């Protein structure tokens, strides 16, 4: 982080150099002296400093400058750095204007020119002002900053992407002072949010996930055209396959459309995963797996949508949404599942504006003291309820059945029963949601008698069922009626090998209807929907990849 700045602005080059020289001579070891020759040039410098998250301690401006005088400059500068101390350089004839400026721009001091000797007339003033500034400086910022509207779905999408990729960021509302200052510095308005400002001061206005990925150091371009193994999906199964593939010498690429971790990565706490008796968050677990995959040489491709799978002889070709493609000897499909959409009136329009699918942990602190509603009775919903109970005034779990025992692990049921601000509502479903720019009310229905009631809330988190992310496959491989990929014995259910199967052997246990294409984890038909089993299937898929390659 650069030293705090002292900015001087004077349109007379000789005076400008003299001021900067005298200031630098006494304060140059602790402060960075920035010199400008016009108000416009000085404001450009301040905007750049603001975007880089750096500090400005003192502003020294000449009163008589063309186009923008010193008072006008200081007034504009206050919008960017309200805590910086302000000094006006004036001639004796302008003393009255300087006195008036004390009220206009909250002037800290005015100095008559010439200020020589500086030891008597300049340094004592600056010493006092710098001491006052150091007591309440503008904070130096090293992380990414995101400016947006509270109930903006695009703003939520940016924050969610950064959070899932474990990128530290500061969230600022566009109608709050600091958010407004960043918008001003970037030269945009509140209509242009979300605005993302990188630590090096670059402004990204309404960025795509690919733009964000490139600026946070994620790779979005393949390093080669051909690989031994391409893993599609970065959840536990995909990460397991990537770790074992790369560690065993296969040139391995993992492609992830959003962030590594999948649904498990959104879990606030996993307590039944082997080897973690005190529990581990999904993000911690998947970040360790990601680092492990990279350590062994996996190439990780982020924010890329795979839209097609084709065979080209013995090679498998994966096509991306932008028209590019990569090829490989083998492919592991580990795209996981998505939470099923809740088909109740009004909810689709409010998605990202109070209605969220999955844990959306970035929203938890904003729920402080509020009533939060969670739909679902499986482990993911229970883990979310325990997490949100730390922030919310009350957490309401809505389940269609009579209790949680049918779908939730016993350890989670016991935890929920021991948390006083979690309430389980059996035989209850969401009949609809309403609100202007965000969710404000939910209509709840009793599944036994159909009676409804309306509750006030701005927070609904949905964890119902699972839909496999396989639409992009089309007819490339066989899937069951729900879209899950059929593998191994399930392909032989009709008594014979799958149509088009040309090899003299039967499909391997995790092999799809195309030789050399494997499925692992939740996306596979009849798989066990648990993190540990997904990791195991990822590892098992790689052993079958080796068997397939050895026979080629």
Number of domains in the chain: 4
- Output the domain CATH number for residue 131: 3.40.50.2300
pLDDT at res. 330? 98
Q: Which of 87, 114, 135 is the last residue of a domain?
A: 135
DSSP string, 55-72: -EEEEEEES--SSS-HHH
DSSP string, 480-516: -TTSPBP-GGGGGTTSSPPTT--SSSPPPTTB-SSTT
Q: What distance in Å separates the CA atoms of residue 521 and residue 540, rounded to the nearest whole number?
A: 11
Residue 495 in any domain: the answer is yes
Q: What distance in Å separates the CA atoms of residue 281 and residue 64, rounded to the nearest whole number?
A: 60
For residues 330 and 478, membership in a common domain is answered with yes
Which residues, 6+ apart, have CB-to-CB distance to 535 below 8 Å? 236, 237, 239, 240
For residues 57 and 121, membership in a common domain is answered with yes
- Output the domain CATH number for residue 396: 3.50.50.60
pLDDT at res. 258? 87
Strand-strand pairing, 109-112 and 85-90: parallel
CA-to-CA dists, residue 308 to 291, 317, 320, 470, 473, angstroms: 28, 8, 7, 10, 6
* pTM score of the predicted model: 0.82
Residue 220 in any domain: the answer is no
Residue 62 in any domain: the answer is yes
pLDDT at res. 94? 63
The answer to whether 16 touches 68, Cβ cutoff 8 Å, is: no
Is 190 exposed, middle or buried, given 0-12, 13-18 or 19+ CB atoms closer than 10 A?
middle
For residues 246 and 207, membership in a common domain is answered with no
Is 346 exposed, middle or buried, given 0-12, 13-18 or 19+ CB atoms closer than 10 A?
middle
For residues 324 and 354, membership in a common domain is answered with no
Q: Which of 82, 110, 135 is the last residue of a domain?
A: 135
For residues 61 and 124, membership in a common domain is answered with yes
Q: What distance in Å separates the CA atoms of residue 7 and residue 439, rounded to the nearest whole number?
A: 46
Can you say how many angstroms the Cα of residue 414 is from the centroid of all Cα atoms in its chain?
A: 32
Strand-strand pairing, 422-425 and 428-434: unpaired
Query: Residue 84 is inside which H or E element, if any?
Result: none
**E strand map for 386-439:** 394-398, 422-425, 428-434
- Output the domain CATH number for residue 152: 3.40.30.10
pLDDT per residue, tens digit, the chain (552 aa), is: 689 999 999 999 898 999 999 999 999 999 999 999 999 999 999 999 999 999 999 999 998 898 899 989 999 999 999 999 999 888 765 666 667 666 667 888 888 887 889 999 999 999 999 999 999 877 777 789 999 999 999 999 999 999 888 888 999 999 999 999 999 999 999 999 999 999 889 999 999 999 999 898 899 999 999 999 999 999 999 999 999 999 999 999 999 998 888 877 777 788 888 888 888 888 889 899 999 999 999 999 999 999 999 999 999 999 999 999 999 999 999 999 988 999 999 999 999 999 999 877 778 888 999 999 999 999 989 999 999 999 999 999 999 999 999 889 999 999 999 999 999 999 999 999 999 999 999 999 999 999 999 999 999 999 997 789 999 999 999 999 999 999 999 999 777 889 889 899 999 999 999 999 999 999 999 998 889 999 999 999 999 999 999 998
For residues 209 and 286, membership in a common domain is answered with no
Please give the biggest Cα pair distance in the chain: 103
Which residues, 6+ apart, have CB-to-CB distance to 228 below 8 Å? 245, 250, 251, 252, 328, 329, 330, 545, 549
Query: Residue 383 is inside which H or E element, if any?
Result: helix 379-388
For residues 122 and 10, membership in a common domain is answered with yes
| Structural domain containing residue 383 | 348-462
For residues 308 and 356, membership in a common domain is answered with no
pLDDT at res. 93? 57
Q: Which of 176, 192, 215 is the last residue of a domain?
A: 215
For residues 293 and 440, membership in a common domain is answered with no
Residue 221 in any domain: the answer is no
For residues 19 and 118, membership in a common domain is answered with yes
Q: Which residue has the tokens 């084709």?
A: 310
């Amino acid at each position: 982080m650069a030293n705090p700045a002292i900015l001087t602005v004077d349109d007379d080059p000789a005076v400008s150099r003299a001021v900067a020289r005298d200031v630098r001579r006494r304060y140059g070891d602790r402060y960075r002296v920035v010199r400008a020759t016009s108000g416009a040039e000085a404001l450009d410098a301040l905007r750049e400093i603001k975007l880089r998250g750096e500090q400005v301690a003192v502003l020294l401006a000449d009163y008589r400058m063309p186009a923008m005088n010193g008072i006008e400059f200081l007034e504009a500068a206050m919008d960017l750095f309200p805590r910086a101390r302000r000094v006006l350089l004036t001639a004796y004839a302008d003393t009255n204007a300087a006195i008036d400026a004390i009220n206009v721009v909250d002037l800290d001091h005015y100095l008559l020119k010439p200020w020589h000797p500086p030891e008597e007339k300049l340094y004592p003033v600056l010493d006092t002002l710098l001491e006052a500034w150091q007591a309440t400086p503008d904070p130096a910022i090293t992380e990414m900053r995101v400016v947006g509207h509270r109930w903006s779905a695009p703003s939520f999408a940016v924050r969610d992407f950064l959070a899932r990729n474990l990128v530290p960021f500061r969230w600022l509302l566009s109608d709050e002072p600091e958010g407004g200052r960043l918008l001003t510095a970037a030269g945009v308005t509140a209509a242009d949010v979300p605005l993302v400002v990188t630590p090096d001061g670059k402004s990204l206005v309404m960025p795509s996930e690919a733009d964000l990925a490139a600026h946070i150091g994620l790779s979005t371009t393949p390093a080669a055209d051909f690989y031994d193994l391409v893993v599609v999906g970065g959840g536990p199964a995909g990460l397991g396959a990537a770790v074992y593939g790369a560690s065993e010498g296969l040139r391995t690429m993992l492609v992830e459309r959003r962030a590594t971790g999948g649904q498990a990565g959104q879990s606030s706490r996993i307590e039944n995963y082997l080897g973690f008796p005190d529990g581990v968050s999904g993000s911690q677990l998947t970040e360790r797996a990601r680092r492990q995959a990279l350590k062994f040489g996996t190439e990780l491709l982020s924010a890329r949508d795979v839209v097609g799978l084709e065979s080209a002889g013995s090679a498998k070709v994966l096509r991306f949404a932008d028209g590019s493609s990569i090829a490989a000897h083998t492919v592991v499909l580990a795209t996981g599942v998505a939470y099923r959409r809740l088909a109740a009136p009004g909810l689709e329009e409010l998605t990202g504006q109070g209605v969220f699918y999955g844990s959306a942990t970035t929203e938890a602190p904003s729920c402080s003291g509020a009533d939060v509603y969670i739909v679902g009775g499986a482990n993911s919903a229970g883990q979310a309820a325990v997490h949100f109970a730390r922030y919310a005034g009350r957490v309401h779990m809505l389940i269609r059945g009579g209790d949680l025992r049918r779908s939730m692990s016993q350890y989670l049921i016991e935890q929920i029963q021991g948390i006083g601000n979690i309430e389980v509502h059996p035989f209850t479903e969401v009949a609809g949601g309403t609100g202007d720019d965000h969710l404000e009310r939910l209509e709840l229905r009793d599944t036994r008698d159909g009676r409804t009631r309306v509750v006030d809330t701005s927070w609904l988190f949905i964890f119902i069922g699972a839909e496999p992310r396989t639409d992009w496959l089309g007819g490339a491989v066989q899937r069951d009626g729900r879209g899950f990929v059929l593998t191994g014995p399930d392909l032989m259910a009709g008594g014979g090998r799958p149509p088009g199967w040309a090899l003299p052997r039967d499909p391997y246990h995790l092999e799809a209807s195309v030789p050399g294409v494997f499925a692992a984890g939740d996306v596979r038909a009849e798989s066990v929907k648990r993190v540990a089993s997904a990791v195991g299937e990822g590892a098992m898929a790689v052993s079958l990849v080796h068997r397939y390659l050895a026979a080629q």
